[in-house]
Amino acid sequence: MGKMRENPRYNVISMRISDEERNELESLMSMTDKSVSDIMREAMGLFKSRLQTLQLERSAA
């Protein structure tokens, strides 16, 4: 039986990317020593943070 995890991840998302995007992703993986999943999780966090900043700026205007 597998190891019990505190925050299990059961959901799988797939997407199609171009050869150029794949090369860029492989380059990021090499530079950061991170997996595709880790890079995408970090990208989602950065995107969410950017949206929240934009929303704050709009509400302050």
Q: Residue for token digits 């995890």?
A: 5
How sure is the predictor about 33, in pLDDT bands with cuts at 50, 70 and 90?
very high
Expressed in angstroms, the distance from the first to the final Cα of the chain is 55
Q: Residue for token digits 């950061």?
A: 32
Is the pLDDT at 1 greater than 90? The verdict is: no
Separation of alpha carbons 33 and 38, rounded Å: 10
Percent of the chain with pLDDT over 70: 97
Angle CA(32)–CA(36)–CA(39) in degrees, nearest 5? 55
Write down the pLDDT at residue 5. Answer: 82
> For the chain, what are the domain ranges?
35-61
Residues in the chain: 61
Separation of alpha carbons 35 and 41, rounded Å: 10
- pLDDT tens by residue, 34-61: 999 999 999 999 999 999 999 999 999 7
Write down the pLDDT at residue 3. Answer: 77
